[in-house]
Amino acid sequence: MNKGFLPVTREEMLHQGISQPDFVYVIGDAYVDHPSFGHAIISRVLESRGYSVGIISQPDWKYEDSIDVFGEPRLGFLVSAGNMDSMVNHYSVSKKRRDRDAFTPGGVMGKRPDYATIVYCNLIRRKYKKTPVIIGGIEASLRRLSHYDYWSNKIKRSILLDSGADLISYGMGERSIVEIADALNSGLDIKDITFIPGTVYKTRKREDIYDALKLPCFEEVKAEKEAYARSFYIQYCNTDPYSGKRLFETYDDKMYVVQNPAAKPLTTSEMDTVYALPYMRTYHPSYEELGGVPAISEVKFSLVSNRGCFGGCSFCALTFHQGRMIQTRSHESIVNEAKKMVWEEDFKGYIHDVGGPTANFRGKSCKKQEKNGACPGKQCLFPKPCENLEIDHQDYLALLQKLRNLPNVKKVFIRSGIRFDYLIYDKDRTFLRELCEHHVSGQLKVAPEHISNEVLTKMGKPSVEVYEKFVELYQKTNEKLGKNQFLVPYLMSSHPGSTLKEAVELAEYLRDLGYMPQQVQDFYPTPSTISTCMYCTGLDPRTMEPVYVAKNPHEKAMQRALIQYKNPKNYELVREALIKAGREDLIGYDKKCLIRPGKGEGTYSKHPGKTHGQGRRKNSGGKPGKKKTIRNVHKKRDKS
């Protein structure tokens, strides 16, 4: 097995004794041989099974020869847009071009095309007409069937059709890519590889599709919002490898796109094997003179502990990509990786993270999942914890204790998301105490996202009362420890279900906390989430009930500005929002007002029948004085 970097040039390939690679992997990111990068895992897994892989990183898509670095591969091309969807990588939620790409040498923007998977595949097809092409990664995974594309504001076909690829390996891909490689190596034609879990294929033969659920056809989905919502929810309910059914959708040229059930999750032993492969743990040395690859700084001294998430947030695509089944590495595997990491020359004593999508999920949510998988029509934590949910932090605690006792380690932080609802449902407060004592560096980032229970319901998040209970426990725990540590809540504006009324309620809540967030995430409709389906259709696909959606850029700007109402730059937007919401009572000199009147204006009279600060109490359930007991736990911003 190669103990250096995989070849990126023909010279490196020949030097490693390879005359023709089995696979050529075309990627939209810089080549970083670290297990936090999908291309590194897939290529190393293939290598461990005896297959050679050449890497073409960020080819110049304007030139056909850029795809011909290694010539034609023996078995096929692999294509991935990178660790992010290329459109999310390129554009902010306001569709403005970003000026930095953390996955490119020197952070330079523009080294990959929009819709990179499609462009790279078309580039390959111009040169190699019949060579198998397999696409994967987050972009292909989340666009594997018809989907809403925010940037074009259209329902788009399966990426399999627009790219001209032969197969999609969706999800994390370790199992399916090995099965695909073995099938090709055995002499099977790529068009006959229709049986592998975790793959999507296309066919013109309806008679070959068996034991499958029929989705609404593409023309119907494109024309009718209700049809798209129905189609999406069928997809959403069939992402589990145990209960999920085969799905297919029809296109007007009598082409069928078929999604096989998801691949089975990796066992702990298999996860350990994947993370023990000989990664170089950094970017290719050819990038050094260009300034390196910025994205490595976030993960170089972090440890992946798990995969998957049973949290079920509506705006998160993890259900579609990694699934709801938690997959974990063993303590031994993680500690062994840490032992290598802590002696690296630039290690300063701080392990930046030990986690995954949700750091404090270290096991299956219940015993039933071991045989039956995740429940297709029921969430583990929402709207309240399932009676079968097993809540236990002991395994994660033991792992953290082992890591912080390693030599040369000063501190072990947790920067992945902590599910605060799961945490407070644990009657044993040991984890909360140790979290505050050992694993917080002055402030802990959490994600309540909003405080309106109407909006939180659409988000699939716990009620504001649950968050307030966590805040109170966090404060009391820090007081007992003699620590002055804060919470930094992530908040989201303009999520489906949020009107100006709910945005004002959130602003009032922040006013009462004395907290002003530095950053606010405006809802971003990325492919294949429940929230994106709501945004596109105005319907909640779970219930088919109408949902209010803020789509007008000006209204979205007002909702965002309300969360940062103290910022002078936001004054006019906040004033307009308050007037439109009928909350002129919040413009004045009273301490409960959000902003002061403009020059030449008098003080607005109070909102009829409502006293200052009442707006939030409908959802918070708290008494008027309650916020004063927890306000200091939130990180304060400027006091202007």
Q: What's 389's domain CATH number?
A: 3.30.750.210
152: Cβ contacts below 8 Å, ≥ 6 apart: none
Q: Per residue in 289-339, pLDDT tens?
A: 999 999 999 899 999 999 999 998 999 998 889 999 999 999 999 999 999
Instruction: State the pLDDT at residue 601.
Output: 67
Average pLDDT over residues 530-540: 98
Q: What is the tally of structural domains in the chain? A: 3
- In this structure, is residue 231 part of a structural domain? no
Same domain, 317 and 181: no
Instruction: State the pLDDT at residue 319.
Output: 86
**Cβ-based neighbour number of residue 329 at 10 Å:** 28
Query: Token digits for 608?
Result: 């009829």
Q: Per residue in 114-134, pLDDT tens?
A: 999 999 999 999 999 999 999
User: Does residue 207 surpass a pLDDT of 60?
Assistant: yes
Q: Percent of the chain having pLDDT more than 90? A: 86
Q: Give Cα separations from 354 to 252, 344, 397 (angstroms).
A: 48, 18, 11
Identify the DSSP state of 628.
Answer: G
- Cα–Cα distance measured from residue 290 to residue 485, given in angstroms and rounded to the nearest whole number: 39
- Cα–Cα distance measured from residue 584 to residue 575, given in angstroms and rounded to the nearest whole number: 8
Q: Which of 400, 417, 441 is the last residue before a domain boundary?
A: 441
- In this structure, is residue 268 part of a structural domain? no
Q: CA gyration radius for the chain?
A: 26
Q: Per residue in 564-621, pLDDT tens?
A: 999 999 999 999 999 999 999 999 999 999 999 987 666 555 444 344 444 444 444 4
284: Cβ contacts below 8 Å, ≥ 6 apart: 5, 8, 30, 31, 32, 33, 57
Banded model confidence at residue 77, pLDDT cuts 50, 70, 90: very high
- In this structure, is residue 538 part of a structural domain? yes
Banded model confidence at residue 632, pLDDT cuts 50, 70, 90: low
CATH number for the domain harbouring residue 452:
3.30.750.200
Continuous H helices in 296-348: 296-299, 318-321, 331-341
- In this structure, is residue 206 part of a structural domain? no
168: Cβ contacts below 8 Å, ≥ 6 apart: 134, 135, 136, 140, 141, 144, 159, 160, 199, 200, 201
- Cα–Cα distance measured from residue 412 to residue 414, given in angstroms and rounded to the nearest whole number: 7
Asked whether the beta carbons of 432 and 477 are under 8 A apart, the reply is: yes
| Of the candidates 30, 16, 249, the residue with the CA atom closest to the CA atom of residue 145 | 249
Same domain, 467 and 381: no
**Phi-psi category of 525—alpha, beta or left, where left has phi over 0 and alpha has psi -120 to 50?**
beta
Same domain, 430 and 401: yes
Q: Which of 200, 219, 241 is the last residue before a domain boundary?
A: 200
- In this structure, is residue 343 part of a structural domain? yes
DSSP helix/strand/coil, 274: helix
Amino acid in the structure at residue 389: L
Same domain, 344 and 396: yes
The boundaries of the domain holding residue 83 are: 10-200
User: Does residue 2 surpass a pLDDT of 50?
Assistant: yes
Instruction: State the pLDDT at residue 608.
Output: 43
**Cβ-based neighbour number of residue 448 at 10 Å:** 25
Same domain, 469 and 397: no
Burial group, residue 389, by CB count within 10 angstroms (0-12, 13-18, 19+)? middle
Average pLDDT over residues 199-214: 96
- In this structure, is residue 210 part of a structural domain? no
Q: Which of 441, 465, 494 is the last residue before a domain boundary?
A: 441
User: Does residue 17 surpass a pLDDT of 90?
Assistant: yes
- In this structure, is residue 225 part of a structural domain? no
Q: Per residue in 356-409, pLDDT tens?
A: 999 999 988 998 888 888 888 789 999 999 999 999 999 999 999 999 999 999
- In this structure, is residue 71 part of a structural domain? yes
Same domain, 549 and 568: yes
User: Does residue 554 surpass a pLDDT of 90?
Assistant: yes
Average pLDDT over residues 146-166: 97
Same domain, 351 and 497: no
Same domain, 489 and 358: no
| Of the candidates 460, 463, 562, the residue with the CA atom closest to the CA atom of residue 520 | 562
Asked whether the beta carbons of 457 and 383 are under 8 A apart, the reply is: yes
Same domain, 599 and 478: yes
Same domain, 598 and 453: yes
Instruction: State the pLDDT at residue 273.
Output: 98
Average pLDDT over residues 222-244: 96
Instruction: State the pLDDT at residue 631.
Output: 52
Amino acid in the structure at residue 210: Y
User: Does residue 109 surpass a pLDDT of 80?
Assistant: yes
Same domain, 352 and 480: no
Same domain, 391 and 491: no
- Cα–Cα distance measured from residue 275 to residue 367, given in angstroms and rounded to the nearest whole number: 26
Q: Per residue in 418-435, pLDDT tens?
A: 999 999 999 999 999 999
